[in-house]
Amino acid sequence: MLEINQLCFRYAPIQTQWRFNITVPKGQCLAIQGPSGSGKSTLLSLIAGFLSPDEGQIFWDQRPIHTLYPWQRPVTSVFQEHNLFEHLDVFSNIGLGIHPGLKLTPNQRKAIDSGLERTGLAGFGARMPGELSGGQRQRVALLRALLRQQPILLLDEPMTGLDPETRAILYDMVLEEKQRGVTMLLASHDNEERRTLADIQWNL
């Protein structure tokens, strides 16, 4: 279970202070709904460890994780910017998510190839991110997050702008992860996305 307990944060003294109290059972997806600027991405960044809370705690399976560096947390995320390494090809971008030194087993390499194929990116492994469309970058970022197989998956508008066929494939892949027991938070303005992926709706 993911527990967010009295987590407080503000960007600057004059700005709004958020106080988050949320529990997400293991293997469930919580959709965060709220107007633009209400703090959805901020909450995900706090869980990922990209921002530090002013006070409060985050527990995963009753162990505190708010004290850990981002790379030590049992978390993987897909943010709106997609954050691909521009100097590395698609295969390496995904592989780095699995092993930071790119020491991949044959099975892991196979998983990347079949993931690329499944998401319509067969043959794109050697392309550089700069040679991809926005939707293709988005698929690479999502595939990297899914193949990392961390217990907690944070999704910030993951399907925005994708065509219906690609969405359907990616929905299936995310739902498969949920069935494997992955716990998710989804920040989204999209009703279809929230209805398809989420078990719990939460208004910010």
Ligand X SMILES: Nc1ncnc2c1ncn2[C@@H]1O[C@H](COP(=O)(O)OP(=O)(O)OP(=O)(O)O)[C@@H](O)[C@H]1O
Cβ closest to ligand X, residue 104 vs residue 186: 186
Residues in the chain, how many? 204
Element (H, E) at 2: strand 2-9
Q: Is 39 in the site for ligand X (CB under 6 A)?
A: yes
Cβ closest to ligand X, residue 38 vs residue 92: 38
Neighbours of 150 (CB within 10 A): 17
Site string for ligand X, 146-165 (x = CB under 6 A): --------------------
Instruction: Say if CB 57 and CB 5 are below 8 A apart.
Output: yes
From CA 2, how far away is CA 25, in angstroms rounded?
Answer: 6
SS3 state at 71:
helix
Q: Is 82 in the site for ligand X (CB under 6 A)?
A: no
Cβ closest to ligand X, residue 40 vs residue 194: 40
Site string for ligand X, 170-199 (x = CB under 6 A): -----------------x------------
User: Can you say how many angstroms the Cα of residue 6 is from the centroid of all Cα atoms in its chain?
Assistant: 22
Q: Is 37 in the site for ligand X (CB under 6 A)?
A: yes
Cβ closest to ligand X, residue 15 vs residue 62: 15
The correct pick among 28, 33, 42, 136 for binding ligand X (CB under 6 A) is: 42
Q: Is 34 in the site for ligand X (CB under 6 A)?
A: yes
Interface region with ligand X, contact rule CB under 6 A, candidates 36-44, 56-64, 81-89, 129-137: 36-44
SS3 state at 115:
helix
Cβ closest to ligand X, residue 50 vs residue 85: 50
Print burial letters for 106-137: b (CB count within 10 Å at least 16), e (below 16): eebeebbeebbeebebeebbebebeebeeebb
List of residues contacting ligand X (CB under 6 A): 11, 34, 36-42, 187
